[in-house]
A = this chain, B = another copy of it.
Amino acid sequence: MRDLIEIQQKLLPDLVDVLRKRYMLLQSIFHLQPIGRRTLAQVSSTTERILRGEVELLKEMGLLSFTAAGMSVTEEGQRVLERLEPMVAELFGLTELAQRLQHRLKIPEVIVVQGDADRSEWVKQELGRVGARVLKQRIRERDVVAVTGGTSIASLAEHLTPSPVFRSVQFVPARGGLGEKVELQANTLASVMAAKTGGTYRLLHVPDRLSPDALQALLDEPQVVEVLELLRTARIVVHGIGDALVMAKRRKYSPQELEELEQTGAVSEAFGYYFDEAGEIVHRMPTIGLQLEDVRKAEVVLSIAGGASKAKAILSFAKQSCQSVLITDEGAARALLAEGNEKEGEQP
């Protein structure tokens, strides 16, 4: 049966959403019966008319009965509720997870894909695919999109497809060189995204490990300044969230630096900033680019991070409360919720 559900989600993703909607509606009616349209619309946070369409269909299917006092669930309706209940967890596992995350992290939209990026390679692909879809649906003419580096964003870039709206879109790396492999650097990914979509891109070429003086000198370079100004106007920010120590190692921090970082309690990394569990900045990479306050000004902040090992990092970065959409996976979501519950247990 698990099989069938998975296939349904692949083949009829739209219908599964509808199914969830109807199920929850039926459940609400069952609990509140008899109840009228208008009251129910408020409770279900939907409009009267849209609810009406649904209840009329449920009535057609013989699951609801209408009286002058309001609508009630028929016996058949109850049977449907009962028999569907054990499947709901499986059917809506992911969407339910997403909703719980949405609530706990206070992020407007959360999408959870199946699997665990730590365990299966293909989950990263899935994250990228979904991320690409979200970006495509959020994009507008003449947008400036700030992008960071990392494996998740690389996967997103790979899954982008051309579209006319992208013609006028600029992809700009969020920060300068961050000492990663070239195929994971923001500069590279900005160019890949531009190539995949038909958009244009800018580069922010700042060598790794600059001295503060050299940095200051670069900030006087017109080319650099121009890109930085463009970055600040970014309406969309696409970024990954990293585990602090993992990122630091990938960026070839020395053992000593690593230990210092660990001392600060850093757990997450984004845009070259390192945050501790409370969401406080405890360290930042010596490079230039998008500042955290710029991210806050962006209309759409799309975060991608998967794998149970990323749970703490996601939770930490969510404290910034600047995200619009979080795309993660089942593994991270479950780990995150488990952790969150422990914390809550400590201070009830």
Contacts and interface: CB of A to CB of B under 8 A. Distances in A.
Contact of A15 (B3, B12, B26, B133): B12
Given A10-B61, A18-B12, A18-B15, A83 B3 contact: yes
B22 A12 contact: yes
Nearest to A159: B62
Given A60-B133, A129-B62, A133-B60, A11 B22 contact: yes
A101 to B, nearest CB: 22
A4 interface: yes
A207 interface: no
A113 to B, nearest CB: 11
Contacts of A15: 12, 15, 18-19
A19 B11 contact: yes
A11 to B, nearest CB: 4
A23 B11 contact: yes
A217 interface: no
A4 B3 contact: no
Contact of A26 (B3, B11, B76): B11
A5 interface: yes
A14 B39 CA distance: 27
B4 A4 contact: yes
Contacts of A57: 13-14
A23 B62 CA distance: 27
Contacts of A13: 57, 61
A329 to B, nearest CB: 16
Contacts of A14: 57
A84 interface: yes
A292 interface: no
A50 interface: no
A8 interface: yes
Interface of A: 1, 3-8, 10-15, 18-19, 22-23, 26, 57-58, 60-63, 76, 80, 83-84, 87, 129, 133
What are the nearest 4 A-B pairs in CB distance?
Answer: A11-B22, A1-B1, A10-B80, A7-B84
18 contacts: A1-B1, A1-B3, A4-B5, A4-B87, A7-B83, A10-B61, A10-B80, A11-B19, A11-B22, A11-B23, A11-B26, A11-B80, A11-B84, A12-B15, A12-B22, A14-B57, A15-B18, A60-B133
